[in-house]
Amino acid sequence: MNSMAPSFPGGSIHKYYPYKNIFYKLNKAYQFQRGDTVAFSNEITRSMITKLSRPNYFFFKRVIALPGDTIEIKGGGVFINDKYIEEPYTMEPNSTFSLPEQYQWSKDHGLEGLFLEECQKVTVPEHKLFVLGDNRKNSDDSRTIGFIDFDDVVQYLPFPEQQITYYEGVTPINHSDKWRDTSKDYENLIKLKKDLCPVK
């Protein structure tokens, strides 16, 4: 699928590490970082995949916020702990919005998730992750399916390793080759949305 384009286009290959490995079993699991990508499966995603007739699929998204972080969407920008985050991996700048239509679809199909409204702050609970797709206009993610439990994760790729070249067979892969220049993102956001969250 294309929810993680341009970093991970639909049908592309990439390396990953199994999360539920020997270190996990020894209670020394990998410590997630913002920017990591994770594949995961839980009751909600399995229900969605079944209804979409796509068996044996995992959801694959990017870690945006960690336990204890506050997250807020304002004018298409993402703010973690009240600070705007630059996201070079997204398909378009400042393209993160709430998804009421997708949330309604989830509710209509009995899939109750987290609906993150514009200018609504939420805190990530302990042992949970807030994840988003890089193609924000075409992604079912924590905006509609809620937080992801650490135990739902089956695979991960650390953020630093997405910025170096590695090989799948003889094919060189560097996900950051497709990333954008973010130097003007915040400036443009403020110009377009002077009052991101007006005081009521």
Which tens digits make up the pLDDT trace of 2-51?
A: 899 999 988 888 899 999 877 776 778 899 999 999 999 998 888 888 76
Q: What does the pLDDT look like over 141-150, one tens digit per residue?
A: 999 999 999 9
Residue 200 has pLDDT above 60, yes or no: no
Amino acid at 175: H
Range with the poorest average pLDDT among 19-23, 51-55, 106-110, 126-130: 51-55
pTM comes to 0.92
Distance of CA 141 to the CA centre of its chain: 6
Report the C-alpha gap between 35 and 53 in whole angstroms.
Answer: 29
Q: What is the reported pLDDT for 199?
A: 64
Q: What is the reported pLDDT for 193?
A: 75
Grade residue 54 by pLDDT with cuts at 50, 70 and 90: low
| Domains of the chain, each with CATH number or no CATH | 17-192 (2.10.109.10)
Grade residue 52 by pLDDT with cuts at 50, 70 and 90: low
Distance of CA 127 to the CA centre of its chain: 16
Higher-pLDDT residue of 139, 102: 139
Listed in sequence order, the residues at least 6 apart from 100 whose beta carbon sits closer than 8 Å to its beta carbon are 115
**Burial readout 31-62 (b: 16 or more C-beta within 10 A, e: otherwise):** ebeebbbbbbbbebbeebbeeeeeeeebbbbb
